Structure 1
């Protein structure tokens, strides 16, 4: 399938010269993150979302839906390739919230993007559902810092076993660097994500199969829904939390506040 680039760029509200430059990479990345929400309704409703490009276009571009990391980053990788960038798919271990000594599996998808004329590639990722997510790509350089306003990120090397260097993306929170995920630059391929996607969507041990998660970053701040818990983080860091009454209110909030076009006759499990 050939991606409908015009429809995608309309969906994220981006217009500009379609060339593989650093400014285009940054602005498309930001527009995607602000334009398409993060959500896991398909796994909660009992199915693994398709990662086929035609299905991602139908859902995220034309269908008014969001998705989780495999959907977002598969779509963005196709877009960037069409724009002339060289893209390598990567996979990370999420360390955010992990207890000391925990070793989580590699389940998060992101990508390395080469930009002609730039001395180093960039880490791009529009599918990390968190206030610590990148708004713009960051140079893959040890100790590189990025002020992707209103956020602040850096990349560092961490101790590792094996021949490949381990990188860690960190987000600054109240003056403290908070680890988000760790990865190596080993390339992954589409079939690898088919396996990971199936496990994350269908395993009873996966949090994404058990409760609704939604994230939306806007110019005013960030909305995060986890089950019945709704957290709104303003651009100045102010946080407001409230607990929704039931699944009916969850659906209303998803449609109104997260701008998700819900499937007809949707019913969430209790």
Structure 2
């Protein structure tokens, strides 16, 4: 991205251009991104193509005011960080399902980020409810975050089926979140995973509709006609009575202007 495009992205997330690509700057950008750009899978249900190209991803977030899911959000965020002088490496991860079995290869994308002050971080703005701040990549003790206590464990082989000794297991409050491979990847490597999650009846993205954003005091989530606000750990659910009310929530709370609602999936039919 050129200087103008980078400034437009920073304006989108309400962040100032950092003086240097430091750890503090990364933390500030990470939190700002989560608060401004929603985790959403509307493209899956609106029949929109998901193009894993940095320019296309940045255009979706910056020009169209949209969000996305992991490949899109971390892909665009990685492009921003690269433009600001951070050293960014995409990594692939597999997410355990409800039965404990791992998802497909390239199930999830996260970022390894090295900063000018010599630190290495695991940044992830594309996992929905996750850390507010990057995790210290080489730390193996507990890492406390506003959204829980996180831990990175080495050598997960034997702990999670199919893991290699070099994989990392990321846990939140003791529960596995994903198994992370350390081998560097490129954005194009995730195209098959994006296609699977956009088309497969087995993908949780085809079986659900979600738009969610971190707020200063909690989180706000819209799923179909159900609006869920979380403040101080307390959840309040509101059923929106009309399609017009849903469209208004998309606009007012997520900055997403739609001319039609995405159809709500019926998990029994997909």
Q: TM-score range by the shorter chain?
A: 0.7 to 0.9
Gaps of 5+ in 2: 265-270
Which residue of structure 1 lines up, in the alignment, with residue 267 of structure 2? Answer: none
Superposition TM-score, scaled by structure 2 size: 0.85
Q: Deviations over 1:214-243 (max 9, x none)?
A: 111010101233444433222x21222344
Superposed counterparts of 1:179-190, under 5 Å: 179-190=176-187
Q: Deviations over 1:57-104 (max 9, x none)?
A: 222112221111111111111111112111110111123x5224x221
Superposition TM-score, scaled by structure 1 size: 0.85
Aligned CA distance change for structure 1 residues 206 and 186 (closer, same or farther; 3 Å): same
The Cα shift of 1:113 comes to 0.8
Gaps of 5+ in 1: none
Q: In the aligned structure 2, how far is the partner of 1:233 from the partner of 1:192?
A: 35
Which residue of structure 2 lines up, in the alignment, with residue 199 of structure 1? Answer: 196
Q: Please state if 1:112 is matched with 2:106.
A: no
Assess if the C-alpha contact under 8 Å between 2:51 and 2:57 holds in 1. yes
Q: Please state if 1:85 is matched with 2:86.
A: yes
The Cα shift of 1:12 comes to 0.9
Which residue of structure 1 lines up, in the alignment, with residue 268 of structure 2? Answer: none
Assess if the C-alpha contact under 8 Å between 1:138 and 1:144 holds in 2. no
The Cα shift of 1:164 comes to 4.0
Corresponding residue pairs, total: 258
Q: Please state if 1:241 is matched with 2:243.
A: no
Superposed counterparts of 1:3-18, under 5 Å: 4-18=5-19
Q: Give the superposed CA RMSD.
A: 2.4
Q: Please state if 1:156 is matched with 2:153.
A: yes
Q: In the aligned structure 2, how far is the partner of 1:242 from the partner of 1:168?
A: 36
Q: Deviations over 1:148-200 (max 9, x none)?
A: 3354322223631565422222223xxxx332222121222122112211221
Q: Find runs of 4+ consecutive structure 1 residues off by over 6 angstroms.
A: none
For structure 1, which segment, 73-82 or 159-168, has the greater mean C-alpha deviation from structure 2 after superposition? 159-168
Q: Please state if 1:178 is matched with 2:175.
A: yes
Aligned CA distance change for structure 1 residues 150 and 183 (closer, same or farther; 3 Å): closer
Assess if the C-alpha contact under 8 Å between 2:20 and 2:116 holds in 1. no
Q: Please state if 1:269 is matched with 2:263.
A: yes
For structure 1, which segment, 31-40 or 2-11, has the greater mean C-alpha deviation from structure 2 after superposition? 2-11
Assess if the C-alpha contact under 8 Å between 1:48 and 1:197 holds in 2. no
Which residue of structure 2 lines up, in the alignment, with residue 218 of structure 1? Answer: 215
